[in-house]
Amino acid sequence: MVQRIGIYAGTFDPIHNGHISIITRSLPLLDTLVIGVANDTGKKTLFSLEERVRLIREYFQATPHKNQIIVEPFEGLLAEFAQKKGAIAIVRGLRAISDFDYEFQMALMNRKLSPSIQTIFLMADFHLMYVSSTNLKTVASLGGNVADLTPSNVWNALCQKYQQKNYE
């Protein structure tokens, strides 16, 4: 039987509940989901690549989905990473119309590079549409409480990075 492997890639600096929602909602469509943590994104990250991978692994290790999820760092083209992993699909989340324009262009480029790999777009949950790693870091850096928008291990790591009180 052919494994239905999907890739969900991003910087995940840090992972948040919006990402987790996309991940868990994609799992019924796939046998295995590889969460690809991008190394070379051009973004300056708060967390190192190793920290981002560790935070994601820690979170999913304590979930019922742990046997369906693999977390791996990668660099280079997403389409090449997906091919190496034997993926049939790339999973992408959409929060707003502005996301669609960018993601549509990337999906077409990935299709050109790897025609056999499909892109699956999942809409963000309504109550999480405003959540991004960038705004979480901004709020946390200014002492705001975003504990309900992240896994607890990520919230603890954010508090440690910004040396603030842990609100839990």
Among 21, 26, 114, 133, which one carries the catalytic annotation?
133
Name the class of domain 5-128.
Answer: alpha beta
Condensed to tens digits (0 to 9), the pLDDT of residues 27-39 reads 999 999 999 999 9
74-85 mean pLDDT:
97
The reply to whether 133 belongs to the active site is yes
Report the alpha-carbon distance of residue 128 to residue 126 in Å, rounded: 5
Nearest to 26 by CA among 12, 2, 8: 8
Among 43, 66, 84, 127, which one carries the catalytic annotation?
43
The reply to whether 112 belongs to the active site is no
129-139 mean pLDDT:
94
130-147 mean pLDDT:
94
Q: How many residues does the chain have?
A: 168
The reply to whether 19 belongs to the active site is yes
The reply to whether 57 belongs to the active site is no
Q: Average the pLDDT over each of 7-11, 75-79, 163-167 and give the range with the smallest value.
A: 163-167
Q: Where are the domains of the chain?
A: 5-128
Among 4, 57, 65, 95, which one carries the catalytic annotation?
95
Return the pLDDT at 164.
58
Condensed to tens digits (0 to 9), the pLDDT of residues 145-157 reads 999 999 999 999 9
